[in-house]
Chains A and B, each alone.
Chain A
Amino acid sequence: MKKKWNCCFLFKERSTTKIVKVMKLTMVMLIVTLMNLSASSYSQNKNVSLRLKNATIEEALKTIQTSLGIDIYFQSEMIPQGSTVDLDAKSATVDEIMDVVLNNTGLTYRMIDDNIVIVPKRAVENVTAQQEQIIVKGNITDVNGEPLPGVNVFEKTNTTNGVITGIDGDYSINVSSGDAVLTFSFIGFEEQEIVVGNRTSISVVLVEETTDLNEVVVVGYGTQKKANLTGAVSAVKGEELAKRTVTDTRLALQGAATGVTVIDRGGVPGSEEVSIKIRGNTSLSAGSDPLVLVDGIEMPIKEVNPSDIESVSVLKDAASSSIYGSRAANGVILITTKRGKEGDFKVSYDGHMGWQTPATLPESVSAADYLMLVNEAKVNAGLQPKYSQDYIDKTVSGTDPVNYPYTNLFEELYETAPMQNHALRVSGGTEKARISLSMNYLDQDGMLKNINTKRYGLRLNTDFIVNDRLNIRTDISFNRRDSDKPSRVDETISNIVGTSPVFLSKYPSGLYGLNKDNKSPLAALEVGGNHETESELLNMKAGFDYKVLEGLKWTTDLSYKSLNNRSHRFLAEYKFYDPFDESRLVTQWNPSELTDSRWMEKETNFRSLLNYGKNFGSHSFKALAGFEAIEHNEYILEGARKNIYSPDYAELNTGDAETKDNEGYRKDWALVSYFGRVNYDYNQKYLVEANFRYDGSSRFAEGNKWGFFPSFSAGWRLSQEDFLSGTDYLDNLKLRASWGELGNQDIGYYKFTSPVFSGYDYSFNDKESTGYSQWYYANEDITWETTQILDIGFDLTMWQGKLGIVADWFQKDTHDVLMTLPISTMVGLAPAESNVGNIRNTGWEVSVTHRNRIGEFEYGVGFNLSDIKNEVVSLAGQEAVISGWNILKEGEAVWALYGYESDGLFQSQQEIDDAAKQPNHADLKPGDIKLVDLNGDEVIDDEDRSIIGSDIPRYTYSIDLNMSYKGFDLSALFQGVAQAENYFYGAPNEGPNFEIFTTTRALDRWTPDNPNASFPRLEDASNKNNYLYNDFWIRDASYFRMKNLQIGYSFNQRVLEKIQVERLRLYVGGTNLFTITDVESGLDPETYDGRPSYYPPVSTYIVGMQVTF
């Protein structure tokens, strides 16, 4: 057994708010065991001889421990630094030696069995010194009922009055009155406060604090100590997420864990586009989103209120996720919500108000530049300049905006928008019942007009401790989201870039300006009609834990989830008249139309688990067996009518009866599963685990319904080995390896059937006639995609937790990837997907954390880095699939960028004449893009295209900073990607050539005077070659972004007592505060490829308050 000369710090000093906890719970447990086993095996009165010269107190204690062969526990902060001790003891007793060593240190010690525990002198002295009226006795245990010795018990208002528990967890303390509050604290456990009242016996169960190796991590259908994990699991605590000033759990996870790539593509509030991928993309057509389980039930992560989250576990490798079998191939995110804890009911409030502004917007050229560039483009095309000098002067002067307008629609239409978020929580409980009730409210406006989303949440988690064998729990959560947006908002968003800045959104007459395509971005926001959506998500769960035998626990849960969505999309009618000839109708929205739809989902989930755990000496054994069944139903109903009476009466009933249109159908799936897990460890040194799941899914045909998904993992804690036990810097070192198989059943509902669909209608004599036809040629053999993951990693903790490193390498092979192989079109049916492809994701992840405390200054730095390399291994012999500027090809990343290589710009006609013949070669002029003749045949054609990049970021990283000093705290998150490319197509490259929104990129266009231009020469409309897909337009989309900043101040206890508040913290924060990127002109590096028509990601600035009563 490892010697523990200084590793244990038993006591938590109560005067400081937070102690650096380096205590290993496992050690405590070991000591407890040791104490039990070795009672009275050592004599306190044994005499020893010991010599020390100018030794520090710590060194002295170490020497005593070694020479006496006993364990001494202390908290290093307590030991005075700098003071030394000389000792020359011959045949002295332990008492005598300890007295000398601790002389003048303000410390004393207690013998607990054969161990010495160092404690502050006053606490012990006061026990004997004070004579009080009330004696309170009790017993302290952990959640497993094991007694906890050495727990600090003291009176809250009189911190000099304190005792510690004995070997059996018992304590006895005198208190002044029934009003006294007792505080129970023990390193590695959460502190508890209990009012004495008229009780004389108070027994307490202390809950382990989740920190470092003691931390218990939620894993599939259970928990596991971090120290004993053999799989790759990233755990994120709710309090860490709470420091991020976002209301969307998906965004809170950005940068929070390695291997998790979160991309924020902006989007209208309520329908933000945030993608989460765990360790890459494994599929082409099946779902590639991770499975998100909230307390075991699949939920839309978007609707999870971050403040309800106790912890998040991201299961990344097969070992940790194969217990979810056919739904786990894309990784699993387990979210655990907060539950009530024993103790006084506490009311806490956390709320903030804030403002949103676009994180980045494309930068427009000035009016003078725009008009000049358009003229240049016209002249270059052999046309007359469009704008006269007089026109330009008048526009630039801005004195007559009606006749000479110039508008930056991005700046005009995107406005600062308010948002607010409030969360209220009541939680607490008694020995017999614990409750947590939380409510939250989010109200967020859009940066475009008439957009708003509101989220209301309610969650009630209850636990009833019926007796020491039976616990019953019921959880109810309800979420409602109301969103409103203009029904034509997408038209606005795409027309902002598609409109010439020589444009007035609204004339003084109130008439809307129209762009070339007769669209008005502003009218689409103001008078285009409204799209309301409502969704209600209700989840009810009841379950119990029953201790069948010692070590055997039976858990059963039944849950019912219902999701109700309503969408009410009204397209208003509107007539657009010519602002300069008000009688002329230019265009109109006609007829008005209303589509009202309902979409209901319900899901029932039943599961039953048996958990068994037993220790045989050094052998520890755990087993889990479970059964789960899920049934999911969806009902879709939609109705539509036209010519709605008026926007004020927009209901189906007010539309033309003749135009009524409707559809409705159902969908369902079911899953039945058996699963199990076995863990074994020897001395917590050698760890092995095996998992399996046997899934039956309705999504496959008979014979293909069942799949078996096993996994195996092992860990070796080198730090427990004798050869490393002497090192004082190494806390933990564990090597891990795992392998397993996972499935992906998210392939659609009825892919194995060959149904005849309705919807191929034809109309005779202006009347609809129903048409039915088979559409695709079904593949009855369709089955799940199978992913195998090999993972090797290590966990390292050093210097009492000051440094932590977790690193993993993985290879994720997905077989049977669903692909649509072409069949002869003469079959007349669409081809079905078959399981033929093969995709590999290889990568590594490193997470480094450093935490320290210097005086009252505490800080922590975390750095996460992930590398993912994605490769299509096999397309079943199929040649590449090309779609636009993307290609799917063996040996390349999924949908890599594909096109011509460019070699700068032509500088002279001679150079053009000498160059390989491009399409439309005769139209080329100096300043056009020169394409590379890859195959050297002097002709630029399809054969010269090649892979020119990939928009899958190779490296994603984040830096997390936390610091606190006195009442102040600061947390900041920076996040970035490296080696990423983005193909900015369309509008940003077109600008003046097509007379649309023009970014500042166009200013650096080629002219004879600017031969080293970054933008080709301008030419009105007709230049075809520059827009052939080529790498001239690809940008390095690497970025480094300050995602989050929060600065808070917590008022100190003295102030708070006066206002009877337990905790009060004020904070300010922001998101997306700055970005460093090579992508120019304000284009967003996180956006999709292609045309930049998007609702940009937002920067928010908030002020908030947290109060606990």
Chain B
Amino acid sequence: MTKMKTLKIYFVALLVLMGASNCSDEFLERTPSDQISSATFFKQQKDIEYALNAVYDLIGFNSWNRSYGSGTDMLRIEVLTDNAVDHHSWNACYELGNGTANAYDWYVQYRWQERYRGIMRANRLLEGAPNVEDMNIDYRNRLVAEATVLRAYFYFDLVYLFGDVPFLTSSIVPDDCEPIIDADGNATPNPSCSRTDRETIMDALVADLEAVLAHLPKEYEQDDKGRITKGTALTLQARIHLYREEWAEAAAASKAVMDLNVYSIYPTYANMFDYQGVDNEEVIFDIQVMEEVDEGEFWLPNYGPNSIGGWSCSCPLQSLIDTYETTDGKTIDDPTSIYDPAQPFINRDPRLHHSILYPGREWQWGVYNTIPGATYPGQEIVAGDDLNDATSGQWNKSATGYNWIKYISQQDIDDANYWDSGIHFIVMRYAEVLLMYAEAKLEAGDIDQSVYDAINEVRQRGDVNMPTIAAGKSADQLREIVRRERRVEFTFEGIRLYDIRRWKIADQVMPGVNPGLTYTDPDTGSEVTLSGGVRNFDAAKHYVWPIPQAEIDVSGLIQNPNW
């Protein structure tokens, strides 16, 4: 009997143990089924292709870590210029615009972070690509070249926004950025990720671009449309040289783009920022978004006027309006021009009409109007934009009396497509190359007919058709013409900030009250000038952004002066 009991105990113990041993370590080995281990990535051709697409994914910029409206958010920086203002205190760039931002500013933080995210994706690709041997070497070189140009594009964005930044050309781990603590407890940035002189960076970027030019095609087949071309690399090179005031090199790079004979001026300015203009012959580099996919741009709500449900998050300023010439090719302050202060918006450079909503401009079924009490005989005012018109949503009405119409597409309005606009944000286009060429040549003192031709090619676009600039201008005159041309041609394209920084005019055009529309109040008869409020600009501080405080907290980087 006792023996039986003992046996039973052994039996049970055995069963329990069997259960236990059944579950070996293998049972506890679980790894994701849909995520590839980083250790085994970059083994085949498609790994490079996929990794490269993820780099493209970061051309635009947004703060939500997803590919959604990235062009829309990138364009917010227009309100940091004399072209526009945003009056929404809760919006990104509001404080950067009026000079009250500090190193905690989240737009600054995210732009920094997302650019480095793109740089590191490119770095990992550049490190991993040589491991993939089983593929066409020319194709691999092209993919590597695309990643290299994208990395240069990210770095140039950082350099012109922040100044000196850490120049990291290989992937790093968090420890690489740990500050070095000396015996006294003082922290200094880790040499492996401290700030590099911006000239050194730009030298390297130019060299990188030069090195990969040969691997890039002039054009792509249909389904690769939107990829980095030789033209993209050269245009970026020209931008860098222009920024460094290396005029001869800038002119040469621009000329090289012109000589590609790939790009030409698209005849319809009115359609360039609408669906008809997507992927037109002038586009060198844009953010490719798909139509009818939930990852489009939100141009309509963010920048549209209140009358169509927009928020007016960027409102054009009067000084921009005043920059548009009259159709006779004269500036409005020229007493000989056909400018009529009583009808300020007629007989103006057509690009004004194609870029900006101003009181009396045709709009929807009637006209756009922000002036209280205004009437437009024979035309109906579309309600929603006049502060006193009793529609609600005051805070979404323009602060300056003007709204953008670039990127605001009638098709999106008709489809009530607020969140998924398929209109591509154009990062680089041929007109910029022509005007860079002209600027570089004139600054280099090398003014010839090609300079006038370049300017006039832009001015003579089909539906713009402004009078040509006649030869015989002085360098100063030409400089004024080119700068004006750049401002009106590229307004609301994110280029003005780069211009007012490199021309060092930001401290003149930014401070104080930047006025908007002036009108006569029909009730009181007094003049009212709208504005987006007072702005500060300290030349000793505001020409670069602060290094984000969150980054300084972690890596101990040295802050920019006065921030």
Report A's interface with B, CB cutoff 8 A.
381, 383-384, 386, 500, 516-518, 546, 548-549, 552, 554, 556, 584-591, 606, 608, 610, 625, 627, 629, 631, 642, 659, 664-670, 672, 674, 696-699, 705, 749-750, 753-758, 760-774, 777, 822-829, 831, 879, 920, 994-995, 1020-1022, 1024
Contacts and interface: CB of A to CB of B under 8 A. Distances in A.
B554 A823 contact: yes
A827 B51 contact: no
Contacts of A753: 31-32, 35, 37
A750 B32 contact: yes
A765 B288 contact: yes
B289 interface: yes
Contact of B16 (A610, A758, A768, A829): A610
Given A516-B392, A754-B38, A824-B177, 11 more contacts: A548-B9, A548-B12, A585-B414, A610-B12, A672-B23, A760-B57, A823-B174, A824-B554, A825-B554, A826-B116, A920-B89
Contacts of B224: 764-765
B390 interface: yes
B554 A590 contact: no
B361 interface: no
28 contacts: A381-B394, A518-B309, A608-B16, A665-B32, A672-B23, A705-B28, A750-B32, A758-B34, A758-B50, A760-B54, A760-B67, A763-B289, A764-B288, A765-B225, A765-B288, A769-B56, A770-B53, A771-B54, A773-B121, A774-B124, A824-B172, A826-B120, A827-B120, A828-B171, A994-B392, A994-B395, A1021-B395, A1022-B395
B393 interface: yes
A689 to B, nearest CB: 22
The 3 closest A-B pairs by CB, nearest first: A828-B120, A755-B35, A771-B53
Nearest to B166: A826
A556 B11 CA distance: 14
Interface stretch (B290-298, B319-327, B430-438): B290-298
B223 to A, nearest CB: 5
Interface stretch (B78-86, B131-139, B545-553): B545-553
B27 interface: yes
Given A588-B415, A823-B554, A826-B172, A629 B19 contact: yes
Contacts of A831: 174
Contacts of A516: 391-393
A849 B51 CA distance: 66
Contacts of A546: 12
B154 to A, nearest CB: 10
B22 interface: yes
Contacts of A383: 387-388, 394
B329 interface: no
A589 B22 CA distance: 56
A670 B30 contact: yes
A698 B23 CA distance: 12
Nearest to B48: A772
A585 B365 CA distance: 12
B293 A1024 contact: no
Interface in B1-57: 5, 8-9, 12, 15-16, 19-20, 22-23, 25, 27-39, 41, 47, 49-54, 56-57
Nearest to B119: A828
B54 A631 contact: no
Given A587-B416, A627-B16, A823-B177, A549 B9 contact: yes
Contact of B222 (A761, A763, A765, A771): A765
Contacts of B120: 826-829
Interface string B523-563: 00000000000000000000000001011011100000000
Contacts of A697: 28
Interface of B: 5, 8-9, 12, 15-16, 19-20, 22-23, 25, 27-39, 41, 47, 49-54, 56-57, 67, 89, 109, 112-113, 116-121, 123-124, 166, 168, 171-174, 176-177, 193, 222-227, 279, 288-293, 295, 309, 365, 387-388, 390-395, 414-417, 422, 548, 550-551, 553-555
Contacts of A668: 30
B279 to A, nearest CB: 7
Contacts of A771: 50-54, 56-57
Contacts of B550: 822, 825
B23 A629 contact: yes
B309 A772 contact: no
A642 B35 contact: no
A546 B8 CA distance: 11
Nearest to B26: A670
A793 to B, nearest CB: 35
B228 to A, nearest CB: 11
Contact of A750 (B23, B31, B53): B31
Contact of A772 (B50, B290, B395, B553): B50
A762 B36 contact: no
Contacts of B168: 826
B121 A764 contact: no
A324 B542 CA distance: 59
A766 B291 contact: yes
A828 B293 contact: no
Nearest to B177: A824
A448 to B, nearest CB: 24
Contacts of A591: 292
Contact of A766 (B5, B193, B290, B414): B290
